Every structure is written in C-alpha cells, then in structure tokens.
Amino acid sequence: MATQNPKKPPNPAVSPPSVSNDESVVLERRAQRTEPPQMFQVVLLNDDFTPMEFVVHVIQEFFSKDRETATQIMLKIHLEGKGICGVYSRDVASTKVDQVLQAARAAGHPLQCVSEPVE
C-alpha cells in the first residue's frame, strides 16, 4: 500500500514566478506551438501496360476525383511520367498506396503508386 500521496507534475506552460519590488508573484504564460504533421503526396507512375481507363477508375475510386479531373491527372501521368493524386498525412497516404497497389494486382496491371514527403 502506498503511504504517500502522488506528487503533482510541474506545469511546463508556466514559467517560474518572478518577484517584483513589492514582493508580489507574477506568473507568465508561454504559448505552446505544435508543428502540423508532415504531409505526403500520393503519386501514380506511368507504365506502358496499364490501360488509361483503369488509371482513371483508380483515381476516381480511391482519391474521390470527378471523371474530368481524373482524366487530367491520368494524362499528366501518361505525358510526364508521374502525377500527384492527393496530399495526405503519412498514415492515410500509406493506406491509399496499399489500396491502389492491391486493386492493380487484382486486375492484373503493373501500376505503381508511391508516397513522397511534401517539401
């Protein structure tokens, strides 16, 4: 059995008290800033075997793009070699990559999908 009461941890958001001439104690509050999470872009890579219509379907299904936007992304992939389908947090981007790769393998296509940190 514990015979002592638990100790209260110090509050890191409050600086130590400062004493002024009249011996009153003043506490200063420091603003805490948290960094936003690093974002990752999901990129589809061009290949010579995956049909364009399948790429459009994947972009619509997994990235919630309308048909026109999905077609524009598919053409960018075809002409430039890669295209960004979306920007997400690390876990969401990783899940999207896995979903795309599973769908491509199930359909028998060698479509490649990667996630890259946004700079």
| Per-residue pLDDT at 21 | 60
Alpha-carbon radius of gyration of the chain: 26
Average pLDDT, the chain: 88
Task: Identify the CA nearest to 58 among candidates 98, 114, 104, 110.
Answer: 104
Could you tell me which CATH class the domain 39-117 is placed in? alpha beta
Phi, psi of 8 (to 5 degrees): -85, 130
Per-residue pLDDT at 18 exceeds 60: no
User: For 72-107, how does the pLDDT look when each residue is reduced to its tens digit (9 = 90+)?
Assistant: 999 999 999 999 999 999 999 999 999 999 999 999
Q: Which residues contact 59 (CB under 8 A, 6 or more apart)?
A: 44, 65, 69, 70, 73, 74, 85
**Angle CA(89)–CA(36)–CA(11) in degrees, nearest 5?**
130
Q: Which three-class secondary structure state does DSSP give residue 109?
A: coil
Spatial distance between the Cα atoms of 108 and 104, rounded to a whole number of angstroms: 6
Structure tokens at 53: 């219509």
pTM, 2 dp:
0.72
pLDDT band at 24 (very low <50, low <70, confident <90, very high): confident
Q: Which amino acid does the sequence have at 27? A: L
Task: Identify the CA nearest to 39 among candidates 85, 83, 93, 82.
Answer: 93
| Per-residue pLDDT at 106 | 97
